Homo-oligomer: A and B are copies of this chain.
Amino acid sequence: MRGRGKLFVISGPSGSGKSTLLAEVFEKLDNEYFSVSATTRKPRPGEKNGVNYLFKNREEFEAMIDNGEFLEYTEYAGNYYGTPAEPIIRHLNEGKDIFLDVEVIGALKIREKMPEAVLIFAVPPTFSELEHRLRKRSTESEQKIRERLETARSEYKKASEYDYIVITGKPGTACSEIISIVTAEKCKLIEREYLLREA
């Protein structure tokens, strides 16, 4: 007896290793639905429409905003990014769990609309490790790195409203933490109370 699906929203600062993590989770969970965001930014080489993003032009995106088609959207560096509501609600109603990769402010907007959403924040074991990773991988200016760290600090503050924190870094650990969170959330009383009512 499967009820409604669960919505899992994963966020993490730049340098947290969230993309690698989500790819791992995607490998492990095959019955789940990974939502695709819409954006007005141009596709990068290799990116596919409907796989990496739903690529829209500005007019299309703004029409979707006007129609209330987004769970949340934001404008960043001149481009729109948004989470279309319809496929999410449809899959939840079909009993499918959904994974969303959304930054912190968007995640908190989603929580306002769907209080039952499960919010997971992915971070390295220490903040200095995050800084180290940003500096190591980055070909960016010191100024840009500082901006990223400042953004990360602000995200860490807001993440105190999240449900779970997973720690990235050791291969497999954060992924198995997420799989455990998904399993545990499905064992919660509210999901299985029907078993008690049979008695």
A: residues with CB less than 8 A from B are 120-121, 123, 125-128, 152-153, 156-157, 159-160, 162-167, 176-177, 179-181, 183-185, 187-189, 191-193, 195-196, 198-199
Contact = CB atoms under 8 A, between A and B. Distances in A.
A185 B187 contact: no
B183 A185 contact: no
Contact of A180 (B127, B179, B195, B199): B179
A192 B176 contact: no
A120 B160 CA distance: 26
Contacts of A188: 163-165
Contact of A189 (B126, B157, B165): B165
Given A152-B199, A176-B183, A183-B177, A189 B164 contact: yes
A11 B67 CA distance: 50
B160 A187 contact: no
A163 B177 contact: no
Nearest to A13: B199
Given A162-B189, A189-B162, A195 B183 contact: no
Copies of this protein in the assembly total 2
A29 to B, nearest CB: 13
A167 B180 contact: no
Contacts of A191: 165
A153 B199 contact: yes
Contacts of A126: 195, 198
Which of A120, A163, A183, A185 has the largest number of chain B CB atoms within 10 A?
A183
B127 A157 contact: no
Contacts of A128: 198
Contacts of A153: 199
Q: Which 7 A-B pairs have the closest CB atoms?
A: A184-B184, A156-B199, A180-B183, A180-B180, A165-B192, A127-B198, A164-B187
A195 B164 contact: no
